[in-house]
A and B are shown apart, each in its own frame.
Chain A
Amino acid sequence: MTVLARRDSIPKLTGPDRGPKDPASGTAAARRRAFFRDPATIAGLALIGLVLLGAIAAPLVAAIVGHGPIEQFPDESLSDTGLPISGGNGFLLGADDSGRDVFVRTLYGAQVSLFIGIVSTTIALVVGTAVGLIAGFVGGRTDNTLSAFTDIALAFPFLITALSVVTLNRGPQGDDVIDPAWVVIGIVALFSWTYFARLVRGLVIEIKQRSFIHAAIGSGAGRTRIILTEILPNVLPAAIIYWAVQLPANIIGEASLSFLGVGIKAPTPSWGTMIANAQQTGLYQYQPWLLLAPAISLFITILGFNLVSTQLRRRFDPTSTGK
């Protein structure tokens, strides 16, 4: 309502009454304020902050306790029978079966999860938005072809495709041709760009009917200019909000691949490989942190991002109805 109050003397008239404004459609500043005041946002941001802090502080913690993420300390952390301790001796959350510090590895795992999640989701955003913009704006045969590609990409089974790609990545000596982290990023991006493409295509088809696009065409603007300056700014907010929605799913995707042994490989610390290791050795019965530390971290990360992205969607996404 502040907008109404600020208007000058020219009567504030807009044709036939359109009824009251949806409360979710207030001024941008008011919505931003409401967003940051919401308890769910605050809790989500706190959780994300915790994870970020862990990821950033990982090398620092490693230096303080003197345990690198892949260094083994069998003498200090394994009992006489070879079972890992669950705490003490400078190991906050105990050690794994090879005598590595679970706490330090969990913190480094946050780096891997965030890195792969953020990079793959961003690639998906860029590719999907580009495809959606072109398909939606050009239409016709181009749209049919690109939409067919999207449907084909959606039809691939995630895990089976991932397993085959990893097999293809084996060189003649059984070593990896390219860094498995990039393979995981590629696979996860491959399976999430389609959602962005569909979202953006739908928005573009609606926006290109509006008269400001006709005005731009009528003033001699080229296709590229129209797509970049008139359409993109209108679809980007929705795409970015969807980025935040897709991110936790992609973090889980990385963890799943690593858990199955086709993603990040030991000894590199990833929450997925750590959970897999705990499960395979069965040692979590003696050393519960082996399983709990990566599982709880994953839970906190996903919960944090989901809380924030739900609120983002509720407050800012023009395509969602709000509550």
Chain B
Amino acid sequence: MPLFELDAFSVSFLDPDQPERHQTPARTVDSLSYAVDEGETLAIVGESGSGKSVSLLAATGLLNGDHRTEGAVRFRGHDLLAATPKQRRGILGKEIGFVFQDPQSNLHPFKPVGRQIEEVIAEHTALKPAARRARVLELLGEVGIQDAAQKAQHYPGHLSGGQRQRVMIAIAIALNPALIIADEPTTALDVSVQAGILGLLGRLQREHGTAIVFVSHDLAVVSRIADAIVVLKDGRLVESGPRDEVALAPREPYTRALLEASRARIRPRVRPIRATDAGPAEAEPKPLLGVRGLTKHYRRGSRVTPAVTGLDFTVGAGEIVGIVGESGSGKSTVGKVIAGLQFADSGEILLDGHAYPTKVSTQVPHLPAEVRRSVQLVFQDPYASLNPRRTVFQSIAAPLEANGWSKSSMRERVAEVARRTVVGDELLNRYPVALSGGQKQRVAIARALALGPRLVVADEPLAALDVTTQVEIIELILSLQQSLHTAFLFISHDLGVVAAIAQRVIVLGPNGVEEIGETEQVFTAPRSAYTRTLLDAIPRLDEAEVSTR
């Protein structure tokens, strides 16, 4: 008997304003069946909207909103859907532990993390307070948090993203559950932190024989940890089987496409863009962007935290330069300063021969109009980067409007950049809510290009997208560089992505610049030990890598 099993399980959402019996809604999850045995790791892979999260939330009774389920969900042979709330509570938390994507929103912000772990133990066991606290420290040690006694007193806000996820895992394993459901547990984390969390889950499984259901959009990540893989698309099962079969020799074209996307992302870019562009800076006497000694500190009250200190780099005309670093490395700050949204504390920035103002006089640096026009921005979160009340056309036209373009020339220009960024005509009158994440990001790029900038600062433009969409956007940026000769400053935490797109890479460590070099050199012969650890943390789909697990 499998430990946890879905049997022809379907979920459909209901309109809360209609009587239920009158509705025959489309199935968001359609006749899904899979099973996990004791001590096994099953990965569920699919793009957003594939129903991978919804199926698990509905199966465990955690799904909010009006919905209908069909089929059966069995845990140790008991039907979870037929269980009373009380029976279900006895299983959830105790027998099944959960780890979600965003530990920030799943931990109580105003309770010390130690107490949050203790609450779970108090709820399900009869342990005395002293014994509970001892168990909390033991758990924190087990999930690899140093200084457990002290960290237990901390509030979630004082811990890093990786530490918070470790606390979530401590809560999930507090009662030695037979099954852990981990829903995109590493998506919000840096690569090296991700490697740590994956290693932790693998170790817990080996030591305690815990079964894991691991949900992810990234085939490369799951191939590190899974015994078996289930691939979902549009709520249906596409392919399932042992890991080596699915990840190395997929039968279905869809799985092959996912695999190809995962691979394309981490293939270092070695081809030069044009014969005339010698690429690196020494060939160009005057780079488009020159940065010398860029330093920026953040002040909160009396506390001063350095974000960047003494950064030197250049971006040539039409060149793509990547800035890689983990969270807290100050890479986004560099982007904001270059884009003219924040002042640098000191240092010199020259864009096309114009120096940025250095005196802090206004909230936003006052740049001459022609400098403003020549540097534009693309952001990480496509949800926040477009004004929800403006249509796609209005969004792309906004920078033109602000610069006093006439109505007719505006229409022409919008059509032109929309064509270049493959934003179809039929999208121009839609509002952002009716766009997919990839479409939104295309619109954001179109808006950035509207004024014909010479440099586009892209701050984690792929972080919120699925792998296949990431590849599309990478290809788009490369084609824009080719056709428009636009330079990009591409900021990312993901070395794999940067490898695929940038000609030169700047690696920012916690203590400043670790390495600046051409992409190929940084990837094949990194000079800094920090770069090497980052490289090792990238999940790969190479055959050798997979079979040596």
Contact = CB atoms under 8 A, between A and B. Distances in A.
B402 A222 contact: yes
A13 B426 contact: no
A141 interface: no
Contacts of A220: 369, 372-373, 399, 402-403
A218 B101 CA distance: 32
B57 interface: yes
Nearest to A37: B17
B17 A14 contact: no
Contact of A215 (B380, B439, B448): B448
Interface stretch (B317-325, B382-390, B516-524, B532-540): B382-390
Contact of A19 (B53, B426, B468): B53
Contacts of A219: 372-373, 376, 398-399, 402-403, 447, 450-451
Given A1-B25, A37-B17, A219-B376, A13 B384 contact: no
A23 B15 contact: yes
B184 A214 contact: no
Interface string B165-200: 000000000000000000110011000000000000
Nearest to A17: B53
A38 B377 CA distance: 44
B379 A214 contact: yes
Contacts of A14: 48-49, 382-383, 436-438, 440, 464-466
B65 interface: yes
B48 A215 contact: no
B217 A16 contact: yes
Best-surrounded residue of A19, A22, A37, A216 (most CB of chain B within 10 A): A19
A143 interface: no
Nearest to B423: A10
Contacts of A19: 53-54, 57, 63-64
A214 B65 contact: no
Given A4-B49, A23-B15, A217-B341, A11 B398 contact: no
A15 B48 contact: yes
B80 interface: no
Interface string B495-533: 000000000000000000000000000000000000000
A60 interface: no
A229 B54 contact: no
Given A1-B25, A13-B438, A16-B184, A211 B48 contact: no
Contacts of B17: 34, 37-38
Contact of A7 (B188, B382, B436, B451): B436
A211 B384 contact: yes
Best-surrounded residue of B376, B395, B436 (most CB of chain A within 10 A): B436
Interface in B8-34: 13-17, 25-26, 28
A27 B15 CA distance: 12
Nearest to B432: A212
A17 B436 contact: no
Nearest to A15: B464
Best-surrounded residue of A4, A8, A212 (most CB of chain B within 10 A): A212
Given A1-B25, A218-B340, A219-B376, A18 B398 contact: no
A225 interface: yes
Nearest to A234: B389
Contacts of A234: 387-389
A20 interface: yes
A215 B379 contact: yes
B469 interface: yes
Given A215-B444, A221-B402, A12 B49 contact: yes
Interface residues of B, number: 78
Best-surrounded residue of B49, B63, B433 (most CB of chain A within 10 A): B49
A152 to B, nearest CB: 27
Contacts of B382: 14
B193 to A, nearest CB: 16
A168 B47 CA distance: 69
Nearest to B447: A215
Contact of B101 (A16, A22, A230): A16
Nearest to B379: A211
Contacts of A210: 384-385
B231 interface: no
A229 B398 contact: yes
Interface string B56-96: 01000001111100000000000000000000000000000
A11 B53 contact: no
B364 interface: yes
Contacts of A221: 398-399, 401-402
Contact of A211 (B372, B385, B403, B469): B385
A214 B377 CA distance: 8
A64 interface: no
A214 B438 contact: no
Contact of B63 (A12, A16, A20, A211): A20
A225 B187 CA distance: 37
Contacts of A233: 387, 389-390
B375 interface: yes
A10 B426 CA distance: 13
B468 A22 contact: no
A240 to B, nearest CB: 13
Given A1-B26, A6-B434, A20 B65 contact: yes
B402 A212 contact: no
Contacts of B403: 219-220
Best-surrounded residue of A4, A7, A16, A38 (most CB of chain B within 10 A): A16
Contacts of B451: 219
A13 B48 CA distance: 5
Contacts of B384: 210-212
Contacts of A17: 48-50, 52-54, 183-184, 215, 217
A3 interface: yes
Contact of A216 (B339, B402, B469): B402
B7 interface: no
B157 interface: no
B436 A13 contact: yes
Interface string B430-457: 0001101111100010011011000000
B289 to A, nearest CB: 15
B381 interface: yes
B433 A3 contact: yes
A218 B53 contact: no
Given A23-B15, A211-B380, A215-B399, 8 more contacts: A10-B439, A11-B436, A12-B436, A13-B48, A13-B49, A15-B466, A18-B48, A210-B385
12 contacts: A10-B436, A14-B464, A16-B217, A19-B54, A19-B63, A20-B64, A214-B341, A218-B339, A221-B399, A222-B402, A229-B398, A234-B388
**Leading 5 A-B pairs by shortest Cβ distance:** A14-B437, A219-B399, A221-B402, A211-B379, A233-B389
Interface of A: 1, 3-4, 6-8, 10-23, 27, 34, 37-38, 210-212, 214-222, 225, 229-230, 233-234
